[in-house]
Structure 1
Amino acid sequence: MLAIVLFWSVLVIGETGIKPILGAVGQGTLAATAGFVEGDQIISVNDKLTPTWTEAMGVIIASALDGDQEIKVAVKNFDDQQNVRLLKIAESDTQNPEVLYEHLGFKPWSPKLKPVIGKVLPDSAALAAGLQKGDLIVSADGTVMNDWMQWVDTVKIHPDVTINLIIERDGVQLPLTITPKRVQSGEKTEGKIGAAVHVPEDLIKSVSVEYSLSPLKAIPVAFETTWYYASATLKMMGKMLIGKASVKNLSGPISIAEYAGQSAEMGFVPFLKFMALVSVSLGVLNLLPVPVLDGGHLLFFAVEAIKGSPVSDKIQAFFQQVGIALLMSLMALAMVLDVQRLFH
């Protein structure tokens, strides 16, 4: 019930996101095989409207993890011509959401931006090097930086390696040195400096979209969204149980706290959405037919209705101990995975 209220609140308040317009599509990816091209804007996935990039990617990945081997994606190009692309998903692609996203090959469209610093994060390599908001990266190790993505690619291949920069600040060119921090990204190691690009305000408005519903229209959509995520969660649990999905998909209290902090930094609506997803996951978990959970009590009531007499206290106590052992094992596994993520 809480998840429905939270999803309803998100729909009524509305959220702002970027339009689901595709950037360059990598060769050999599922997107390329399906015929997606740069500039395609996703309208709907399996007939579900997806007004933002986050919504579109969330529905595609959830549908794939849900077992859909063919996902129908309606798109339009810059000339407003509409087409339908069919994503073919193999079972091997659905073992891990991160691997699946990489295989899909979707990247948001972004225009070429000048390599101008828009924000410097605290405790970052950029701050330590003395970079400031508004600095233009002119060159790196003697190579002229024509756009921001060229600069990002340069940083990625230089983890813990000093880069000699020429920057322009207030019309004056200055030399600087920066050493990108080494970070783990999936199975790869790459450099990060902790800085964001400056994006012109008019460009932000052109690729942004606001989506909201009236209080009445939001009610059925909130129910539908809750059911959608609940069924996807249940199916993912089933896949993990039979070995068709990795247990690395589990998140423990450390990961949940990190995601909560990240969503709170993004704003009130993203935090509400995160809380709704957590509520769905806890609700599904609580209804599993495991003793000590509500689902376990319902199972005992069902057995009692079938056999015509209550389950004995001795049997109930035994299965409750089994249920506690299962839950403790699950919590321990989630904690171990959380700790592993911290060190990787």
Structure 2
Amino acid sequence: MISSILNNLLMFILGLLALSFLVTIHELGHFIVAKWNKVRVNTFSVGFGKKLFRFKKGETEYCISAIPFGGYVAMAGENPDSIEDGKGPSQDDFLGKSVGARAAIAFAGPFVNIAFAFILLIFLYMVGVQEPDNKNLIIGFVAKNSSAEIAGIQPGDTITAINGKETQGWDDFREQIGVSLGADVMLEVHRGGEPLAIKVVPQELVIPAADSTSDPIKMGIGDIGIYPRNRVIVRLPPKEGSAAQKAGIMRGDTIFEINGEHISRYEEVVRLIDGSKGAEVNVTLLRDGKKVDVKMTPAYNEEFKRYIVGIQMGYVMFSETHLVRRGPIEAFEKTCATSWKMTTSIFRYFKRLFQGQVKVDAFSGPVSIVAVMGNVWMSGFQDFLMLLALISINLGVMNLLPLAITDGGLLLFLGIEKVRGKPLSLKTQSVIQNVAAAFFISFFVFITILDFGKISLFLK
């Protein structure tokens, strides 16, 4: 139990560090360009709320604040209300600078996030990343009563195209299925060398709760119930005194069958063990290429509110990838393609949201983002760097949207000021910003509530 708590705590600490880093470089972009334009910066803060740590150098106070999901650069004369009546902005005030200078300061934060992701991706593609040996998808498992099973898809089938376009690996396939909830999807499937055209309709992805008394977690995206060829392994030595240890289960064992039912997902192990209600279960393991049969009696655990045998599980994929290294030019070209896909992904999700093919449950807020980043960091550093690039680009793009309280909103106001020759009235700006703030605060609270409903997905 203690190790599990420490593991979860480490996951969230790593996630917070990663998110704080992206926020810091974003604010650093604003800060550097503000200083370059000789704007007086009063505060540079990573996080919001109460200042936990602070020091002052020159005219600027640097601090780390209590709420780590953001940050800010407080510039002199940034708010028109802060300027004394009858006096215009001074030369070192933000509002005392030209429209171009203010626009450069606003643009700098998102630009740094996007540029950082671009440079990181070039580095990764030059060092080498794991890519599929074959872009076609070989199915290892089809879930019972899933859309795929209903449509007639079988384990061992190979999917070569989706909606007339060649498959590009499992990640791309999952995204396309994920944004097609309730829609007809045409798959080209090869079975025994013969091509088949199969129509599937993705159902909403639902993850079983960690304990049998809680409701399953609805993810808001589509799923057809197919999985790549993989193995569920025992990731760590069994818990001392547990049923698994008594049965002789070892770290690295593959859980092949439970009570004669083939295992390809850890959720199936949880379901079958908890479903035993304490009755003895027959487990077939794979160890050093040989099958080993053992019997175990699950015990009820008060912490998880279900029957367990004392193991932690993980996945091992069949070797269907290889390391690809690229030269500088190839890495640049690949980065451009990947960056464009990452940049436009959020718009694809919003489009499908309005079409009803994605639900709002699919969106993640700060709690889920921190948990995912920490979890991926602990699983593999290269995967974490790819995720860091994805979130950095999306952070930059979201901040460029003309949504009043974002950097893009400020750029929109500055554009209007440039065209009109004067800014919008303070009253008009205030109304727009207050409405936008009310909307985003409500949306933030709503998404955060959804996040806490998903948090059990990341806890060990």
Q: TM-score, normalised by structure 2?
A: 0.54
- Tell me the residue number matched to 2:117: 3
User: Counterpart of 2:274 in 1: which secondary structure?
Assistant: coil
Contact 1:22 1:109 in 2 (8 A): yes
- State the alpha-carbon separation in 1 of the partners of residues 282 and 333 from structure 2: 56
User: Counterpart of 1:157 in 2: which secondary structure?
Assistant: helix
Q: How does 1:195-206 map to 2 (within 5 A)?
A: 195-196=312-313, 204-205=318-319
- Tell me the residue number matched to 2:428: 315
Q: What displacement does 1:317 show? A: 2.7
Q: Per-residue displacement from partner, 1:237-283 (whole Å, max 9, x unpaired)?
A: 35557876432222222211211122112212110111122123212
Q: What displacement does 1:294 show? A: 1.5
Q: Per-residue displacement from partner, 1:124-156 (whole Å, max 9, x unpaired)?
A: 96667665316798997xx5x586569985752
Decide which of 267, 277, 289 is 2:380's aligned counterpart.
267
The change in CA–CA distance for 1:191 and 1:272 in structure 2 (over 3 A counts) is: farther
- State the alpha-carbon separation in 1 of the partners of residues 184 and 278 from structure 2: 46
Q: Structure 2: where are the runs of 5+ without partners?
A: 1-113, 207-216
Q: Structure 1: where are the runs of 5+ without partners?
A: none
Q: How does 1:127-138 map to 2 (within 5 A)?
A: 131-133=248-250
Rg larger for: 2
Contact 1:157 1:191 in 2 (8 A): no
Contact 2:257 2:263 in 1 (8 A): no
Q: What displacement does 1:88 show? A: 5.8
The change in CA–CA distance for 1:168 and 1:227 in structure 2 (over 3 A counts) is: closer
Decide which of 150, 174, 178 is 1:57's aligned counterpart.
174
Q: What displacement does 1:320 show? A: 2.2
Q: What displacement does 1:14 show? A: 0.8
- Tell me the residue number matched to 2:138: 21
Paired letter, 2:336:
F
- State the alpha-carbon separation in 2 of the partners of residues 5 and 117 from structure 1: 37
Paired letter, 1:164:
E
Percent identity between matched residues is: 21
The change in CA–CA distance for 1:243 and 1:325 in structure 2 (over 3 A counts) is: farther
- State the alpha-carbon separation in 2 of the partners of residues 325 and 230 from structure 1: 26
The change in CA–CA distance for 1:98 and 1:163 in structure 2 (over 3 A counts) is: same
1:156 equivalenced with 2:274 (yes/no): no
Q: Per-residue displacement from partner, 1:15-60 (whole Å, max 9, x unpaired)?
A: 2668631124468755467775433445565656624x33442354
Paired letter, 1:109:
R
User: Counterpart of 2:424 in 1: which secondary structure?
Assistant: coil
Q: TM-score, normalised by structure 1?
A: 0.68
Query: Could you tell which deviates more after superposition, 156-165 or 214-223?
Result: 156-165
Contact 1:3 1:276 in 2 (8 A): yes
User: Counterpart of 1:21 in 2: which secondary structure?
Assistant: strand
- Tell me the residue number matched to 2:448: 335
- State the alpha-carbon separation in 2 of the partners of residues 106 and 246 from structure 1: 21
Q: Per-residue displacement from partner, 1:64-119 (whole Å, max 9, x unpaired)?
A: 37x9x67676666676x7x58575658x86999946443x2322135xx8x98564
- State the alpha-carbon separation in 2 of the partners of residues 100 and 127 from structure 1: 35
- State the alpha-carbon separation in 1 of the partners of residues 365 and 240 from structure 2: 26
- State the alpha-carbon separation in 2 of the partners of residues 334 and 31 from structure 1: 31
Q: Cα RMSD (Å) of the superposition?
A: 4.9
When the two structures are aligned, how many residues end up with a matched partner?
322
1:251 equivalenced with 2:368 (yes/no): no
Q: How does 1:273-292 map to 2 (within 5 A)?
A: 273-292=386-405
- Tell me the residue number matched to 1:105: 225
Contact 2:367 2:448 in 1 (8 A): yes
Q: Per-residue displacement from partner, 1:268-327 (whole Å, max 9, x unpaired)?
A: 211011112212321232122211212112222343355454212332233223333233
- State the alpha-carbon separation in 2 of the partners of residues 341 and 124 from structure 1: 31
